[in-house]
Amino acid sequence: MIKEGIQASSGIAIAQAVVYVKQELTAEKKSIDDVQGECGRFSQAVEKSKQQLATLKEKTASEMSEEEAAIFDAHSMFLEDPEFVGAIEQSIKNDHINAEAATQAAVDQFYAMFQAMDDPYFKGRAADIQDVGNRLLRNLMGIEIMDISHLDHDVILVAKDLAPSDTATMDKVHVKGFATDVGSRTSHTAIMARSLEIPAVLGLEDITETTKNGEILIVDGITGSVIVDPTEEELKAYQQKKEKYDAYMAELAKLRDQEAVTTDGHKVKVVANIGNPKDVDGVVRNGGKGIGLYRSEFLYMNSDEMPDENKQFAAYKTVIEQFKDGDGVIIRTLDIGGDKKLPYLPLEDEMNPFLGLRAIRLCLSKPDLFKTQLRAILRASAFGKTRIMFPMIGNVDEVRQAKAILKTCMQELDAEGVDYDHQIEVGIMVEIPSAAITADIISDEVAFFSIGTNDLCQYTLAVDRMNQNVSYLYDPLHPAILRLVQNVIVQSHKKAGKFTGMCGEMAGDPVATLILLGLGLDEFSMSASSIPQVKKIIRSVSYKQAQEIANKAMTMSTGKEIRQYVQDTLNQLGIEVM
Ligand code: PEP
Ligand code: MG
């Protein structure tokens, strides 16, 4: 039986299924006389839960990253929260009910409250309170959860969804793939699967019901399908597909230390996008020699309070030092607003947050917040090649204002005698059509452009990048996008020493590589795992060929036509992409 889901992490896994269904916890309501004793039992469950969370945090921090481990701090915080814990104790005392029922009632109440919020951050807390509540209930009831931390054979983990505590504790040697009922490409499980390089297909709706424990499962993370109980022929075909994929990846791995250079010697940079310092491991493993986009907002989003200058400095410095002999690091200043919120920075609700007080607009309206970050970046620049990039620039005034604030920070550091790179380069992200169209004007103020196609597409094509209903219109190969990209590159090259990079998802899309190369893009920045494939394509053609391909694509009328043309060209050139 073949089931189609969401392709979340590439590769093929074939193994026995472990259906990881967590026991339903039903908190039966009982009246109690010994209020004191019941409160004591509840306190013990809280303590035990805290200890478990501390262990989980430690394991995650050492096996993954501090950022990933932070989720357990968020869970622990609920156990310290007087409103949550107090509500349970109060209902034990006042209503004379057992701790299980009191806990369930408080969890339900908090869950409903978070669920009702519009803000995606607080909505997300609903899942956390449920996770914490289940832990408390299990500890009160003495129920052990199925142990996936020590497995004796390879498995595909089949689950409704996987909580952070599941991925943290699971046996990372024997879990070969994920197949889940719910999830999206940006869900926690998807992010984890990609960072662990485990093939994953999510959103299969009822995979937990259609799969039995021990049944053989094939997870095809290349196409986003899962085969339950495959036939002999299917098994054979997928074993071959897996071997081919593994061989393809092994072949690509050989390019690790090769340059991204065309057959006639035109060199470009192929670098990586990261969200936190731990991502650097994957970049190095995939042969990335620099960072073209450090999404600094993750540092803010993974924190319970505004990260101070020293905390930011430490994070930036860690990354910068690792690439000081390579292509350096481009740090994007805080890109918050739109769909990204900070719990400790209340912002006014807006009708159209993506067109609202976002990114540089927000930073310019809060100079103190902005200065803290700029000072931290400047201080870190003393430790290796660093560039600063402002997001969501719409006009040259914003660049000038941001640079003026940067200058103030430099003067402050000079007065304090603090070292930094006085020649630090400043660039902007081109995400708004007005910036792309006026690249000739803006180029006087910046050292480089980096095209953020994720937003540039949504603003140019008037297509919400997160709206499924209009996703068919979201096309980075739309002639309008290609023309904007071309204009930015051409304008930057008119000024000596200036360059254009791209850090939107398009930069890592193999179908776009030849066109972007031919248009003269200088730097391709992408998720680490895409680096080898893009490098391979670049190394397979001459710059002249790429220019011809780009020129031809620029004459075409639709994205569909262009896509077909590039795919045919890749086939003709014998360049295999997976
Ligand atoms: C972009 O918009 O292309 C981009 C890289 O920024 P983000 O995806 O973080 O908005
Ligand atoms: Mg963007």
Weakest-pLDDT range from 78-92, 193-207, 515-529: 193-207
Weakest-pLDDT range from 190-199, 344-353, 511-520, 554-563: 190-199
Asked if residue 453 has its Cβ within 6 Å of ligand 1, the reply is: yes
pLDDT score at 362: 97
The position carrying tokens 């889940």 is 180
Distance 455 CA to ligand 1 centre (A): 6
Tell me what the mean pLDDT of segment 28-45 comes to: 93
pLDDT score at 125: 79
Backbone angles phi, psi at 202, to 5 degrees: -115, 175
Weakest-pLDDT range from 299-303, 326-330, 408-412: 299-303
Residue 242 has pLDDT above 80, yes or no: yes
Distance 338 CA to ligand 2 centre (A): 10
CA 244 to chain centre: 28
pLDDT score at 518: 98
Asked if residue 452 has its Cβ within 6 Å of ligand 1, the reply is: yes
Residue 196 has pLDDT above 80, yes or no: no
pLDDT score at 185: 63
Closest residue by CA, ligand 1 atom 9: 295
Weakest-pLDDT range from 189-193, 365-369, 459-463, 522-526: 189-193
Exposed, middle or buried, 384 (CB in 10 Å: 0-12/13-18/19+)?
A: buried
Closest atom of ligand 1 relative to the 273 alpha carbon: 5
Going by DSSP bridges, is the β-strand pair 225-228/269-274 parallel, antiparallel, or unpaired? unpaired
Closest residue by CA, ligand 1 atom 4: 452
pLDDT in tens, 351-389: 999 999 999 999 999 999 999 999 999 999 999 999 999
Distance 141 CA to ligand 1 centre (A): 46
Distance 247 CA to ligand 2 centre (A): 35
The DSSP annotation for 472-541 comes to GG--TTSHHHHHHHHHHHHHHHTSTT-EEEE-SGGGG-HHHHHHHHHHT--EEEE-GGGHHHHHHHHHHS
Top-tier CATH class for 2-22+147-231: alpha beta
pLDDT-derived band at 36, boundaries 50, 70, 90: very high
pLDDT score at 342: 85
Domain boundaries, the chain: 2-22+147-231, 35-141, 260-572
Asked if residue 485 has its Cβ within 6 Å of ligand 1, the reply is: no
Kindly report the length of the chain.
578
Closest atom of ligand 1 relative to the 505 alpha carbon: 3
pLDDT score at 187: 59
**Which bound ligand lies closest to the C-alpha atom of 502?**
1
pLDDT score at 188: 65
Asked if residue 455 has its Cβ within 6 Å of ligand 1, the reply is: yes
Of 388, 451, 466, nearest to 420 by C-alpha is 388
State the chain's mean pLDDT as an integer: 91
pLDDT score at 304: 78
pLDDT in tens, 107-139: 999 988 887 887 767 767 787 888 899 889 989
The residue type at 131:
D
Is residue 66 within 8 A of residue 159, CB to CB? The reply is no
Distance 246 CA to ligand 2 centre (A): 33
Is residue 119 within 8 A of residue 7, CB to CB? The reply is no
Asked if residue 504 has its Cβ within 6 Å of ligand 1, the reply is: yes
The residue whose CB lies within 8 Å of the most ligand 1 atoms, and thus the one to mutate among 279, 296, 454, 527, is 454
Residue 43 has pLDDT above 90, yes or no: yes
Distance 427 CA to ligand 1 centre (A): 15
Task: Give the residue, 301 or 426, on which the prediction is more confident.
Answer: 426
Task: Give the residue, 340 or 14, on which the prediction is more confident.
Answer: 14
Distance 543 CA to ligand 2 centre (A): 29
The residue type at 549:
I
Residue 145 has pLDDT above 80, yes or no: no
pLDDT in tens, 253-291: 888 889 999 999 999 999 999 988 888 988 999 999 999
Residue 467 has pLDDT above 80, yes or no: no
Give the Cα-Cα-Cα angle 116, 342, 200 (nearest 5 degrees).
Answer: 75
Closest atom of ligand 1 relative to the 293 alpha carbon: 5
pLDDT score at 182: 86
Rounded CA separation 162/189 (Å) = 6
Tell me what the mean pLDDT of segment 390-418 comes to: 98
Closest atom of ligand 1 relative to the 297 alpha carbon: 9
Q: What is the DSSP letter of 153?
A: S
Closest residue by CA, ligand 1 atom 7: 454
Long-range contacts of the stretch 411-420 (C-beta < 8 A, 24+):
412/375, 413/375, 413/378, 413/379, 418/379, 419/379, 419/382, 420/378, 420/379, 420/381, 420/382
Residue 186 has pLDDT above 60, yes or no: no
Closest residue by CA, ligand 1 atom 1: 452
Rounded CA separation 494/513 (Å) = 23
Give, for 460, the enclosing helix (H) or strand (E): helix 453-461
The position carrying tokens 């809060």 is 366
Structure tokens at 292: 């073209």
Asked if residue 503 has its Cβ within 6 Å of ligand 1, the reply is: yes
**Which bound ligand lies closest to the C-alpha atom of 275?**
1
**Among all residues, which ones are annotated catalytic?**
188, 503
Closest atom of ligand 1 relative to the 295 alpha carbon: 9
Top-tier CATH class for 260-572: alpha beta
pLDDT score at 57: 85
Which pTM does this prediction carry? 0.74
pLDDT in tens, 533-544: 999 999 999 999
Tell me what the mean pLDDT of segment 232-243 comes to: 95
pLDDT score at 27: 85
pLDDT-derived band at 468, boundaries 50, 70, 90: low
Rounded CA separation 438/398 (Å) = 13
Asked if residue 454 has its Cβ within 6 Å of ligand 1, the reply is: yes
Tell me what the mean pLDDT of segment 183-205 comes to: 78
Asked if residue 431 has its Cβ within 6 Å of ligand 1, the reply is: yes
35-141 is classed CATH 1.10.287.3510: no
Give the Cα-Cα-Cα angle 177, 178, 180 (nearest 5 degrees).
Answer: 160
